[in-house]
């Protein structure tokens, strides 16, 4: 792939710009290695995608191979929130609160058509939030209705790649650029 | 929101009101229970619904009949095929279409496979709710085998959209019969393993026997159907009383228990798995030849009137009520969802038990929240 095709990969640019500081880069590498290999998801499921998320954690697909070791029931202990399913207007404040309760660093995966855009409920529905990015910032989108467990695994691996490119600086810039208050 | 959160400590009798959910692993979705506690005992449970209300009934009014099945898929997504069947049967009944035997038999086999995978998933989650994490892995391991069969024929894993008004979307895969037979042979060996793992467990007995008793009279007056109602002795199997598809040509028992407690509901579902396998075995070798779909008009318009069709999903009786004004869109669609009625009984049977039993009782009702909220 050509360099120009990475045009919106701001993290990569930041990484290149601050590439001279050996100490910081080494620290970043170590921190990122730790973060990406122990992503603990929150048990948050609203609709069918939740069942596929469970299937991803169960015997055949085995999430734990890639470091998503256990599902945590408490947002305080979770690193990544997989928004699995439709978010309706009544649920949106709860989702926001769950996101706020999670401690940094936190990541969001929008799983399934409903979380990405409203999906099958995009037209005609009066109560569905048309995309979870209206409520919380999303890192990775996993399309499908519902996505296969393999698709979720691929999405989580993409999230690991994203974490790999982050630095202390870029992380801070990313947090400040999102204003969802 | 997550853990038990104290909102008020109301009167001098130390009655606490705590929130369980909407994000709580044991409510199986986004159900919010407002639990009044006295000490550790549950005084009353007030379910708050609507956290996943996506307006499916209203959406149905602006789409055509073949499109409705894609929304009913997403109502009770674990028995998606049976939900679709209800809509298709209703439309076919209204149009007085004669459905060939092949379609009926395939629909019945797929429905029973759906019921099997639904009960497997329920067993996995119920075991996990009560602390047996191994159940989760065993249950989902076997469920994947059914999903493979679905995937080969329909292309989808759980949201199948295999039915359409007038028949099926496409014919069964050439491997279908072989793989179903292989699975039944496999699962007949595996199901006793489920019993060994959980049914005979002493801790499980202590936590489920005598907990959340529901009498037959209450089951009838609350409209509790499905395995939950049948565990209380309420004979409510639509497959038996009002046979649809190919259920009139197979021999099967209606599972009835009289105890009505959590353990009876558990055993009723395990027994239903055996019966489902019996039904599939009777049909799988005799799938008649014929077309897999009847030729329908490109735009389906129901004659003016009201139509009602009920089917037995894995959780109880699902009713689809359509009012048509003669257009291609229905005038009004109402779903009588089994989970909504089953949820209504929760306050009645959980009062007086400990809060840990609330998890066991809620798990034994096998609630699917998007089916309640629609």
- Among chain A residues, the shortest Cα distance to B117 is held by A51
In this structure, what are the phi and psi dihedrals at residue B276, rounded to the nearest 5 degrees? Answer: -60, -40
pLDDT at A20 over 60: no
Q: CA–CA separation, B160 vs B89, rounded Å? A: 17
Give how far A126 is from chain B: nearest CA, Å.
7
- Among chain A residues, the shortest Cα distance to B73 is held by A48
Do B94 and B328 contact (CB within 8 A), yes or no? no
HSE of B287, CA atoms in CB hemisphere, 13 A: 22
Q: How confident is the model at residue A177 (pLDDT cuts 50, 70, 90)?
A: low
**Which ipTM did the prediction report?**
0.85
Interface residue B53 vs chain A (CB under 8 A)? yes
Do B341 and B361 contact (CB within 8 A), yes or no? no
pLDDT at A12 over 50: yes
Q: How confident is the model at residue A17 (pLDDT cuts 50, 70, 90)?
A: low
Give how far A119 is from chain B: nearest CA, Å.
11
> Are B3 and A74 an interchain contact pair (Cβ–Cβ within 8 Å)?
yes
Q: Where in chain B is the domain with CATH 1.10.645.10?
A: 56-300+327-332
Q: CA–CA separation, B313 vs B84, rounded Å? A: 10
Supply the pLDDT for residue B13.
59
Supply the pLDDT for residue A142.
92
Interface residue B193 vs chain A (CB under 8 A)? no
Which positions ≥6 away from B371 have C-beta within 8 Å?
B75, B76, B315, B337, B338, B339, B340
Give how far A179 is from chain B: nearest CA, Å.
23
With respect to CATH, is domain B56-300+327-332 assigned 1.10.645.10?
Answer: yes
Q: CA–CA separation, B230 vs B254, rounded Å? A: 8
Supply the pLDDT for residue B274.
92
HSE of A104, CA atoms in CB hemisphere, 13 A: 6
Structure tokens at B65: 């009949």
Give how far A6 is from chain B: nearest CA, Å.
34
Interface residue B4 vs chain A (CB under 8 A)? no
For the stretch A41-98, pLDDT in tens is 988 888 888 889 888 988 888 888 888 878 888 889 888 999 988 899 998 998 998 8
Count of helices and strands (H, E) across chain A:
7, 4
For the stretch A104-117, pLDDT in tens is 888 999 999 989 99
Could you tell me how many CB contacts below 8 A there are between chain A and chain B?
Answer: 109
pLDDT in tens, chain B (374 residues): 455 555 554 445 578 888 887 888 777 778 888 999 888 888 889 998 888 898 899 999 999 998 898 888 888 888 899 999 999 999 999 998 888 999 999 999 999 999 999 999 999 989 888 888 888 899 999 999 999 999 999 888 888 889 888 889 888 899 999 999 999 999 999 999 888 888 888 888 888 888 888 899 999 999 999 899 999 989 888 988 889 888 888 998 888 888 888 999 999 999 999 999 999 999 999 888 988 888 888 888 888 999 999 999 998 899 999 999 988 899 999 999 999 999 999 899 988 888 888 888 988 888 888 888 88
Q: CA–CA separation, B70 vs A113, rounded Å? A: 14
Mean pLDDT of A145-150: 90
Distances (CA, A) of B143 to A60, A89, B36, B170: 10, 33, 37, 23
Name which of B4, B23, B77 to mutate to probe chain A: the one with the most chain A Cβ atoms within 10 A of its Cβ.
B23
- B148 C-beta neighbours (distance < 10 Å), count: 13
Q: How confident is the model at residue A4 (pLDDT cuts 50, 70, 90)?
A: low
> Are B144 and A59 an interchain contact pair (Cβ–Cβ within 8 Å)?
yes
- Pairing mode of beta strands A140-142, B5-9: unpaired
- Among chain B residues, the shortest Cα distance to A81 is held by B23
Which fold would CATH assign to domain A3-177?
Rossmann fold (3.40.50)
* Chain A hits for B140, Cβ within 8 Å: 54-55, 58-60
- Cα B244–Cα B79–Cα B150 angle in degrees, nearest 5: 95
* Chain B hits for A145, Cβ within 8 Å: 159
């Amino acid at each position: 792939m050509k360099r120009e095709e990475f045009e919106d990969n701001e993290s990569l640019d930041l990484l290149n710009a601050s590439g001279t500081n050996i100490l910081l880069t080494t620290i970043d590498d170590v921190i990122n290695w730790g973060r990406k290999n122990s992503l603990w998801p929150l048990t948050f499921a609203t609709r069918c995608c939740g069942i596929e998320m469970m299937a991803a954690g169960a015997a055949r697909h085995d999430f734990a191979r890639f470091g998503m070791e256990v599902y945590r029931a408490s947002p305080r202990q979770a690193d990544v929130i997989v928004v699995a399913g439709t978010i309706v207007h009544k649920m949106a404040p709860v989702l926001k609160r769950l996101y706020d309760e999670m401690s940094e660093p936190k990541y969001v995966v929008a799983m399934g058509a409903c979380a990405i855009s409203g999906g099958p409920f995009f037209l005609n529905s009066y109560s569905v939030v048309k995309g979870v990015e209206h409520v919380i910032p999303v890192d990775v989108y996993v399309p499908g209705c519902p996505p296969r467990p393999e698709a979720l695994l691929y999405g989580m691996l993409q999230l690991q790649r994203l974490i790999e490119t982050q630095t202390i600086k870029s992380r801070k810039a990313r947090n400040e650029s999102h204003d969802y208050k | 929101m997550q853990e038990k959160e104290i909102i008020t400590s109301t009167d001098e009798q130390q009655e606490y009101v705590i929130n369980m959910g909407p994000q709580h692993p044991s409510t199986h979705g986004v159900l919010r229970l407002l639990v009044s506690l006295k000490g550790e005992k549950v005084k009353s449970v007030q379910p708050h619904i609507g956290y996943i209300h996506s307006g499916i009934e209203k959406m149905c009014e602006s789409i055509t009949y073949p499109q409705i099945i894609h929304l009913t898929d997403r109502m009770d997504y674990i028995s998606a095929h049976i939900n679709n069947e209800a809509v298709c049967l209703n439309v076919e009944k209204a149009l007085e279409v004669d459905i060939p035997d092949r379609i009926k038999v395939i629909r019945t086999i797929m429905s029973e496979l759906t019921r099997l995978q639904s009960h497997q998933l329920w067993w996995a989650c119920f075991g996990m709710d009560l602390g047996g994490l191994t159940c989760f892995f065993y249950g989902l391991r076997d469920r994947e085998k059914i999903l493979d069969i679905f995937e080969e024929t329909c292309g989808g894993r759980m949201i199948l959209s295999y039915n359409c008004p007038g028949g099926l979307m496409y014919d069964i895969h050439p491997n279908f019969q072989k793989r179903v037979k292989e699975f039944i042979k496999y699962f007949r060996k595996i199901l006793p393993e489920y019993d060994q793992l959980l049914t005979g467990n002493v801790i499980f007995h202590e936590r489920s026997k005598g907990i959340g008793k529901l009498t037959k009279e209450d089951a009838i007056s609350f409209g509790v159907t499905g395995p939950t109602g049948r565990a209380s002795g309420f004979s409510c199997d639509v497959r038996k009383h009002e046979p649809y598809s190919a259920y009139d040509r197979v021999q099967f028992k209606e599972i009835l228990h009289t105890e009505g407690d959590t353990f009876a509901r558990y055993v009723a579902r395990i027994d239903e798995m055996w019966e489902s396998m019996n039904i599939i075995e009777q049909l799988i070798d005799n799938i008649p030849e014929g077309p897999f779909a009847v030729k329908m008009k490109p735009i389906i318009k129901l004659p003016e009137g009201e139509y009602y069709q009920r089917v037995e999903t894995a959780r109880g009786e699902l009713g689809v009520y359509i009012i048509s004004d003669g257009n291609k869109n229905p005038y009004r669609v109402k779903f009588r969802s089994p989970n909504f009625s089953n949820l209504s009984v929760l306050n009645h049977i959980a009062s007086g038990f400990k809060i840990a039993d609330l998890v066991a009782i809620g798990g034994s009702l096998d609630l699917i929240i998007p089916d309640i909220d629609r």
